[in-house]
């Protein structure tokens, strides 16, 4: 056996003359040395979940990709049509690869600070996204949680600026307070750009279903359709945000805080404000907890449809998209109000906004309309007292220590 | 070594599978190494993504930037082609035997939601046992040239919930018309209308008004996050030309613009068509897989498109 084996090896080696080995090595050196030329330019990913959901044909996907490039440019060379209301100069500071411009100013801020989580496209599919809990925000549906405007409205420029400066406590979103005002301003503008871009893309993809049969499955490439019907309705909402501020009556200065907290507690557990249903009898988020936010629900609902379909070919394609273009859906736990961590800000005003308008994109409903403003203030005061409650109901007759809060 | 190598090569090949296998493997590896960088590394990494037609993009952008004049106001089409009004009616029946409705998992507020042992059933397929009528099919006009009642009615549509169920599983309202979202239960609910950002607390025995500001396209889902089994659908249209089939499967849409071809869209919650569109084999009405059909109604005519059979396969069995 030994003999045969060594003969095999000799045979094998003998089959390749030295010159052939040298040629292969030389080829490898040439390819390895020259590489592939420069790094290919960055590109925006198409929203494959929506494209597949709408059963777009390859031609239709190509048309959307092409129209998106026409209307918004590329990650290195962004375009903002005047109707978007965006400032292209700001976008240029945030876009493109990280580099210094002719006056030594840092460019490519989005890719330096944001893209690794939020993705070059703003689709929350950056390389680190899967490791974070909660996942980073996907800008494309144009839905934002922490803002001073009514539920259905967009956040103001100041709202997004505050998020960038303060970060989001309790999540992986850090503070960028060390950046200059100009840089933060440019990044906020770029987030709006990615958001308007993403919503426009959704609009285009959904428009195929609305086409008349004689359109032969092709969207009109006219200004009237692309700008008038798809882009402008999205951009208008962003422009209107500054006028959609939630009116907040001042909390009475002479308010009896003990009485207010007691009233807030009553509302929290009562069937009018009903906070207890989700935030739970302990306020630790132990109520209704198996729901999803809008971003994850999109994937959950669609997965059900994919699993239930008889169309095997489409299901295969859909499974590929679910694997490559979405993250494993996660439920959204109601906030544990005893930790004293408030994602959208800890000012009483921030809590007022959350309770008044609810949290867009999340199951948290608005109290507006059914709970009067003074009652909202009572709930705010009770919620702010929760991390420090001394009522013994949790078996604690002392101020809660960190261990108890988790 | 070269000598040895040449000798080995010149010798008549002894059939030796071991050698062949080894040679094949090395050759494949070499080829793979050569092509690997060409195949994957040097592209731009767009796996499973469409390519952009850069020239076409440039052309479209130039047209968007340079075309003069503002965007035409997209409002009601001025091209009114007739004067009278007509009515459309029809009836949907289910051709098949529906499976028993599933019982919903009710695990919250059971003292109200499962009062007296009542079990809540899935209502996505409601078929009247005697008439076979299929309820909750939505029929609406895709584009109307003119509307008889220009303003939405001042009376609100009542949308109520009782015993942890929305009383109307499918309903319609006009854009700008008030909806009285009510809660007749002794427990609190919240009503969350997808796509509208309306999600409000509805305290026990209370209600709130909601005015839709935009059309929904196809019907959109209404849920309660506190009681996740609660589900309904709503469609908002500017012109209000919507019919929702009743228990016996019949629907009526009055005051339609007469004398012109109207295109209708048909939807059902369980439909397997795109976005819930219900496609039927009705060539006389030019019924498409996108769930659209065409009808022309004369002035003062009550057009009956008759009994429309919906096969079980169209509703996912």
Report chain B (317 residues): mean pLDDT per 10 consecutive residues. Answer: 40 43 52 47 70 93 75 48 88 94 92 91 95 97 91 95 96 96 94 91 93 93 94 96 97 95 96 92 94 95 96 86
Contact A75, A95 (CB under 8 A): yes
Q: Please say whether the beta carbons of B143 and B79 come within 8 A.
A: no
Q: Per the CB < 8 Å rule, is B19 touching A11?
A: yes
CB contact under 8 A, B225 and A320: no
Residue B11 within any structural domain of the chain: no
Cα A177–chain centre separation = 21
Task: Name the 3-class secondary structure at B42.
Answer: coil
Q: What is the pLDDT of residues A34-50, one digit of tens each?
A: 556 677 889 999 999 99
CB nearest B53 (choices: A18, A28, A66)? A66
Q: What is the mean pLDDT of residues A225-241?
A: 96
- pLDDT band per the 50, 70, 90 thresholds, residue A393: low
Say if B279 falls within a structural domain: yes
First to last CA, chain A: 66
In a domain, B160, yes or no: yes
Q: Among residues A379, A72, A41, which one has the least CA distance to residue A226?
A: A72
The reply to whether residue B188 touches residue A54, judged by beta carbons under 8 angstroms, is no
Q: What is the pLDDT of residue A391?
A: 55
The pLDDT value recorded for residue A369 is 87
pLDDT tens profile A371-381: 999 999 999 99
Handedness of CA B198, A367, A364, A199 (dihedral sign): positive
Q: How many domains does chain B have?
A: 1
Nearest chain A Cα distance for residue B199, angstroms: 5
A33 vs A320 pLDDT, higher one: A320
Report the residue from B64, B186, B188 with minimal CB separation from A70. B64
What mean pLDDT value characterizes chain A?
Answer: 89
Are A277 and B37 within 8 A, CB to CB? no
d(CA B164, CA B176): 27
Q: What pLDDT score does B4 carry?
A: 42
User: How far does B311 lie from chain A, in Å, by closest CA?
Assistant: 16
Q: Which SS3 state, helix, strand or coil, does residue B152 take?
A: coil
Q: Grade residue A13 by pLDDT with cuts at 50, 70 and 90.
A: very low
Task: Give per-residue pLDDT as tens, A87-142.
Answer: 999 999 999 999 998 898 999 999 999 999 999 999 999 999 999 999 999 999 99
Query: Chain A closest CA to B219's CA: distance in Å?
Result: 14
Q: Which of B9, B52, B203 sits opposite A271 (nearest CB)?
A: B203
Residue B290 covered by a domain: yes
**B63, part of any domain:** no
Chain B nearest C-alpha distance from A285 (Å): 13
Q: Is B12 on the interface with A (CB under 8 A)?
A: no
Q: Are A367 and A400 in contact (CB under 8 A)?
A: no
| Share above pLDDT 70 across residues of chain A, in percent, rounded to a whole number | 87
The reply to whether B268 falls in a domain is yes
Cα–Cα distance, A162 to A150 (Å, whole number): 17
A299-to-A47, A49, A346, A371 alpha-carbon distances in Å = 13, 8, 31, 33
Q: How far is CA B148 from CA B151, B176, B252, B260, in A?
A: 9, 16, 16, 15
Of A12, A41, A226, which is closest to B22 when you measure between CB atoms?
Answer: A12
Number of neighbours of residue B169 by Cβ within 10 angstroms: 17
Please report, for the domain that includes residue B115, its CATH number: 2.60.40.420
Close Cβ partners of A9 (under 8 Å, ≥ 6 residues apart) = none
Q: CA of B30: which chain A residue's CA is closest?
A: A24
Q: Residue holding tokens 């090595």? A: A25
Q: Using the predicted structure, report yes or no on whether residue A143 has a pLDDT greater than 60.
A: yes
- Collect all residues of chain A within an 8 Å Cβ-Cβ radius of residue B209: 369
- Contact flag B33-A28 (C-beta cutoff 8 Å): yes
Q: What number is the average pLDDT over the span A136-155?
A: 96
DSSP state of A55: T
Q: Would you tell me the crossing angle of helices A58-72 and B54-66 to the nearest 10 degrees?
A: 50
Q: For residue B216, what are the domain limits? A: 87-315
In this prediction, residue A1 carries a pLDDT of 41
How far A394 CA lies from chain B's nearest CA (Å)?
Answer: 23
CB-based contact (8 Å) between B145 and chain A? Answer: no
Contact A342, A166 (CB under 8 A): no
Indicate yes or no: CB of B42 within 8 angstroms of CB of A271: no
pLDDT band at A15 (very low <50, low <70, confident <90, very high): low
Is the Cβ pair B197, A15 closer than 8 Å?
no
Cα–Cα distances (Å) from A400 to A340, A386, A387, A395, A397, in that order, read 11, 10, 7, 10, 8
Tell me the per-residue pLDDT of A306-364, one tens digit each, with 9 for 90 and over: 988 888 999 999 999 999 999 999 999 999 999 999 999 999 999 999 999 999 999 99
Q: Any chain A CB within 8 A of the CB of B230?
A: no
| Predicted pLDDT at A128 | 97
Q: Are B311 and B94 in contact (CB under 8 A)?
A: no
Chain A residues inside the 8 Å CB shell of B71: 83, 223-224, 227-228, 232
pTM for this one? 0.84
In a domain, B196, yes or no: yes
| Rounded Cα distance, B152 and A115, in Å | 47
DSSP readout, B298-311?
-TT-EEEEEEEEEE
Asked, for residue B111, whether it belongs to a domain, the answer is yes
């Amino acid at each position: 056996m030994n003999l045969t084996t060594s003969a095999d090896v000799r045979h094998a080696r003998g089959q390749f003359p030295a010159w052939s080995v040298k040629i292969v090595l030389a080829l490898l050196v040439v390819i390895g040395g020259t590489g592939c030329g420069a790094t290919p330019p960055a590109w925006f990913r198409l929203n494959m979940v929506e494209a597949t959901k709408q059963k777009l044909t390859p031609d239709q996907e190509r048309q959307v990709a092409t129209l998106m490039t026409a209307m918004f440019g590329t990650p290195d060379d962004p375009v903002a049509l005047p109707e978007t209301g965006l400032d292209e100069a700001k976008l240029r500071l945030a876009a493109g690869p990280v580099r210094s411009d002719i006056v030594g100013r840092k460019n490519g801020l989005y890719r330096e600070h944001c893209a690794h989580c939020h993705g070059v496209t703003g689709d929350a599919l950056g390389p680190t996204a899967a490791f974070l809990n909660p996942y980073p925000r996907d800008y494309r549906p144009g839905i934002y949680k922490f803002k001073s405007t009514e539920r259905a409205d967009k956040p103001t420029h100041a709202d997004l600026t505050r998020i960038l400066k303060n970060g989001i406590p309790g999540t992986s979103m850090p503070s960028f307070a060390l950046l200059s005002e100009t840089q933060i301003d440019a990044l906020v503008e770029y987030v709006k750009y990615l958001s308007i871009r993403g919503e426009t893309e959704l609009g285009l993809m959904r428009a195929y279903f609305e086409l008349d049969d004689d359109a032969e499955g092709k969207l009109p490439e006219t200004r009237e359709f692309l700008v008038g019907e798809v882009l402008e309705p999205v951009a208008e909402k962003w422009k209107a945000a500054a006028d959609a501020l939630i009116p907040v009556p001042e909390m009475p200065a002479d308010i009896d805080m003990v009485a207010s907290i007691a009233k807030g507690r009553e509302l929290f557990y009562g069937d009018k404000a009903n906070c207890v249903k989700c935030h739970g009898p302990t306020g630790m988020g132990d109520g209704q907890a198996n729901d999803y936010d809008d971003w994850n629900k999109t994937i959950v609902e669609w997965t059900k449809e994919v699993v239930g379909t008889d169309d095997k070919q489409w299901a295969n394609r859909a499974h590929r998209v679910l694997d490559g273009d979405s993250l494993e859906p996660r439920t959204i736990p109601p906030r544990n109000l005893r930790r004293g961590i408030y994602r959208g800000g800890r000012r009483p005003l921030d809590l007022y906004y959350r309770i008044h308008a609810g949290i867009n994109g999340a199951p948290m409903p608005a109290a507006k309309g059914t709970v009067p403003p003074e009652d909202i203030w009572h709930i705010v005061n009770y919620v702010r007292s929760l991390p420090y409650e001394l009522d013994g109901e949790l078996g604690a007759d002392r101020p809660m220590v960190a261990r108890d809060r988790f | 070594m070269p000598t040895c190598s040449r000798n080995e090569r010149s010798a008549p090949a002894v059939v030796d599978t071991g050698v062949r296998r080894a040679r094949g493997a090395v050759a494949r590896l070499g080829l793979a190494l050569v092509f690997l960088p060409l195949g994957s590394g040097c592209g731009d990494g767009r796996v499973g993504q469409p390519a952009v037609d850069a020239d076409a993009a440039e052309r479209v952008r130039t047209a968007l930037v340079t075309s003069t004049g503002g965007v035409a106001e997209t409002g009601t089409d001025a091209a009114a082609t007739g004067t009278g009004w007509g009515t459309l009616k029809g009836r949907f029946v289910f051709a098949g035997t529906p499976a028993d409705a599933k019982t919903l998992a009710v695990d919250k507020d059971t003292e109200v939601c499962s009062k007296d042992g009542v079990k809540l059933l899935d209502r996505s397929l409601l078929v009247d046992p005697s008439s076979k009528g299929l309820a909750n099919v939505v029929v609406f006009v895709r584009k109307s040239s003119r509307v008889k009642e220009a303003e939405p009615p001042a009376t609100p549509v009542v949308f109520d919930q009782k015993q942890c169920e929305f009383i109307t599983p499918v309903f319609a309202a006009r854009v700008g018309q008030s909806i009285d979202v009510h809660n007749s239960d002794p427990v609190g609910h919240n009503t969350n209308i997808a796509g509208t950002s309306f999600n409000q607390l509805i305290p026990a025995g209370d209600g709130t008004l909601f005015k839709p500001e935009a059309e929904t396209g196809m019907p959109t889902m209404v849920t309660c996050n506190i009681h996740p089994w609660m589900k309904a659908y709503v469609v908002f249209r500017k012109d209000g030309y919507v019919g929702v089939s009743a228990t016996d499967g019949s629907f009526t849409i009055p005051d339609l613009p007469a004398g012109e071809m109207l295109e209708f869209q048909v939807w059902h919650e369980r439909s397997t068509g795109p976005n819930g569109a219900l496609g039927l084999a009705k060539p006389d009405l030019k019924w498409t897989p996108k769930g659209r059909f065409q009808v022309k109604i004369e002035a003062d005519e009550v057009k009956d498109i008759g009994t429309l059979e919906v096969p079980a396969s169209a509703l996912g069995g």
